[in-house]
Amino acid sequence: MRNKDKPTAIPQKKRMTEGPFWPGLIFLFALLLRLIYFFDIKDTIWMGWLGMDATIYDNWARMIAIQGQLGVEIPFMNPGYALFLGFLYSLLRYNLSLVLLIQFTTGALSCVLVYFLGIKLFNRTAGVIAGLLASLYGISFLYEGTLLSASAINLLNLLLLLLLIEAREKTLRVLARRRLYSGPLCPVQAQYPAVPALCPAGYRSWLQGVG
């Protein structure tokens, strides 16, 4: 008797490397490296080093935490990051160590987004290599370890790009639903002066996907 309709068993090794295995591994690897860096600088002058821009964000966020508003009519720097920092200050009572740990965690999440972008644009192998390389990128540690908006910019840009690529692959019905996710990110991302052409490019890709 033939077992023609019997489902083929998935090898154990293949099951382990699918699903959440690689994203989880990349996240933990990236976070571990960042924690090593964090505890290495914890008792040095580089812990939360406040240069000119970081000092402005720190004072701005403290004012937001106290007053509950931006406090300036025309922001001359990235108000989105100042609001995020002000929220953390009000929630964590100005605990700089916890704020930086949150930034390191978002940096590890960015590495996972790089992994998913690699899968979308190439294949799983490329995604794994890209995610691991992003985890090892030392400049990210530097920016995530101080009060600068670069890590938030990176996370938002990666998330927006991933959502736009995913949206283009879907049918018209699902595509319209995805606009609710990536659309609001455009004005949020506009608070940061990085890659301002992402949003128009995203809408062009939607139109091409529909057509």
Question: Lowest-pLDDT range, 20-29, 141-150, 185-194?
Answer: 185-194
Q: How far apart are CA 92 and CA 97, in angstroms?
A: 10
| pLDDT reading at 194 higher than 50 | no
Which residues, including other chains, have CB under 8 Å from residue 62's CB and lie 6 or more apart? Answer: 86, 89, 94
Task: Read off the pTM.
Answer: 0.74
Q: How far apart are CA 85 and CA 82, in angstroms?
A: 5
**Which residue would you say has higher pLDDT here, 138 or 16?**
138
**How many CB atoms within 10 Å of residue 23?**
19
What mean pLDDT comes out for the span 115-139? Answer: 95
Calculate the average pLDDT of the chain. Answer: 78
| pLDDT reading at 153 higher than 60 | yes
Which residues, including other chains, have CB under 8 Å from residue 42's CB and lie 6 or more apart? Answer: 97
